[in-house]
Amino acid sequence: MNNIPKLFGTSGIRGEYQKEVTLELALDVARALAKYIGGANHIVVIGRDTRTSSSIIEKVMTAGLEQSGCDVLLLGMVPTPVVGYAAIKKDANAAIMITASHNPSKYNGIKLWNADGSAFKQSQEREIEKLVYEQDFDIVEWDKIGNDYDISSLKDEYVDDIIEISGIDSSQPLKVVVDCASGAGSILSPEAIRRSGMDVITLNAQPDGFFPGRNPEPNSANLGELMKTVKVLGADVGIAHDGDADRMIAVDEKGRLSDFDKLLTIIAREFGGTVVTTVDASACLDTEMKKIGGSVLRTPVGDVHVAESIVDNNATFGGEPSGTWLHPDFCMCPDGLLSGLRIIRAIQKNGPLSKQLDSIESYPTIREKITCPNDKKQEVMSEVFNNFESQFNDIKEVLTIDGMRIQFMDDSWVLIRPSGTEPYIRITAEAKSQEDLDKIQKTSVDFLEKLV
């Protein structure tokens, strides 16, 4: 299967509508999924985000599934976590979310989910790619065509369930500003927080696939309005989502955007035990988990890898620093709405978010990229694996699950990893002092520049 063109990236299929993501591709993926799960008489859930192209892709994929004999359960416009939830509740064989997550409006994508609400593994994605490449589909006769059913009412049940499992205390109302980016969380996220007893103010909560208020990626460049609003209104917290609301980032009561790693650490401490994160996450998580007798496992970048490790290691919680968190006590689909409720609950229990964030030690960090042609990445990374480790002393651990991450005895670390989408080799490093970080950075840059 190595010669089969790759369709899936780290988070499903994604690209510009009618360039990389065409209606023909959507039809073929639907037919391939139907064949993969067993064809006729099987059930598939479909949800979509607010993008202008999502509805037509939904129609095409529905037709492809029904043409293959599958019944289709339509959620309509929903956050990604509702799709995973519905797969479980409706005993479906698979599920589809049509979204490009945090990408701009002209992009769209397709992400596939298992019956247990977890994302398709890479091995499963390769099987779908093979079926698409070989055009190996099973098309049924006229009397075996599947049907579609509206299950959008399931959204209310989902909201009730995330409120209950979050443990949020309705007798302790907080003032919460929610910025939904005009994405798929625009209706349900404010509704969930309001129904949990909080005082809610909304920004960009009108579903609109053009994302008129801000770009859907929840980062400092796009959340200035949220930060100002939280501070001016004296709110207790601000909650921001991406386009499909599988991510959540918080703003503290002082109007500061939370450090992504620290925010992840706050919830990891609430769960304790074994938590899972990616190779590019900060050592502050390890430090805090050690204090409470917990442990941290690391995976390659991507929520699919985090989910696999959670299951394999019976972990209590997991997530990426990007704000993509998985809550195995509820569902194995990343859930930005439940993440928001749990941050609110952590504030109710432990006090202002700013104090919780400031209680976690900060380390100087750098993120740098070295230009490297895509066709040379493999050669460069081979040299990294063979010789980069020899550039340092006092090495505690080396991870090669996604690039090379070297952990030092003082818990400083450096990660060399090729970009999956751009012509770069990325350097991420963290140290206890700026002086140590500068040394790690210089050594890493010098080593790579000699290779490229």
Positions annotated as catalytic residues are: 101
Phi then psi for residue 338, to 5 deg, are: -65, -35
Q: Measure the CA–CA gap between 289 and 273, rounded to whole angstroms.
A: 8
Instruction: Look up residue 390 and give its two tokens.
Output: 């020899």
SS3 for the chain, per residue? CCCCCCCCEECEEEEEECCCECHHHHHHHHHHHHHHHCCCCCEEEEEECCCCCHHHHHHHHHHHHHHCCCEEEEEEECCHHHHHHHHHHCCCCEEEEECCCCCCCCEEEEEEECCCCCECCHHHHHHHHHHHHHCCCCCCCHHHCCCEEECCCHHHHHHHHHHHHHCCCCCCCCEEEEECCCCCCCCHHHHHHHHCCCEEEEECCCCCCCCCCCCCCCCCCCCHHHHHHHHHHCCCEEEECCCCCCECEEECCCCCECCHHHHHHHHHHHHCCEEEEECCCCCHHHHHHHHCCCEEEEECCCHHHHHHHHHHHCCCEEECCCCEEEECCCECCCCHHHHHHHHHHHHHHHCCHHHHHHCCCCCCEEEEEEECCHHHHHHHHHHHHHHHHHHCCCEEEEECCCCEEEEECCCCEEEEEECCCCCEEEEEEECCCHHHHHHHHHHHHHHHHHHC
- Other beta carbons within 10 angstroms of residue 228's beta carbon come to 14
